[in-house]
Amino acid sequence: MRISLRLLDRVLAHAAQTYPAECCGLLVGRGSQVLAVEAARNLRANDRDDRFEIDPLDHVRIFEAARAAGEDIIGCYHSHPDGYPGPSSIDRFLARSFGGPFGYLVVSIRQGWACQVYSGMITEGGQIIPIPLEFEVESQEVRDGA
């Protein structure tokens, strides 16, 4: 998966803004190139700080905008406040019924600011496997509003 540093900074800023709750959002692009990062409301944010559920209304809004731009939702991201920088056992359990291929970023944020990023892919069989995350200083394709 490839992402510009500017878009990755948006993911990290979202994790810091929502700390100590988990943030979540969708990655929009073409193929393995992330062209936009779209924050979504976490329906579980008030229930507990170690779960996320993307608001279906946000999902539909982001899907329709991506389709109109000739792009796809190619992945998602969420944070693990003061947690492990990788998929949790709950993440792995839920991915089994999801299927892919689908990009999967996890941001571990400690004390509201120190971040580590895990880059993975949900396979067709629903397994989360690590994949390289390629960084770009800036991509010409990245949308200005992203």
Pairing, β 72-81 against β 102-110: parallel
Express each pLDDT in 89-129 by its tens digit: 999 999 998 888 999 999 999 998 888 999 999 999 999 99
Per DSSP (E only), the strands in 31-89 are 33-40, 72-81
The answer to whether residue 71 is catalytic is: no
Question: Which tokens sit at 129?
Answer: 């496997």
For the domain made up of 2-136, give the CATH fold: Cytidine Deaminase; domain 2 (3.40.140)
The model's pTM: 0.91
Cα separations (Å) of 31 from 2, 47, 139?
Answer: 9, 35, 14
Q: What is the DSSP letter of 8?
A: H
What is the mean pLDDT of the segment spanning 6-11?
A: 96
Q: Is the pLDDT of residue 145 over 60?
A: no
Beta strands in 5-133 (DSSP E): 24-30, 33-40, 72-81, 102-110, 114-122, 128-130
Residue 142 has pLDDT above 60, yes or no: no
Residue in the block written with tokens 């100590």 = 20
- Point out the least confidently predicted range of 23-27, 78-82, 133-137: 133-137
Element (H or E) spanning 94, and its range? helix 89-96
Cis? peptide before 81, omega within 30° of 0: no
Active-site option among 22, 71, 134, 136: 22
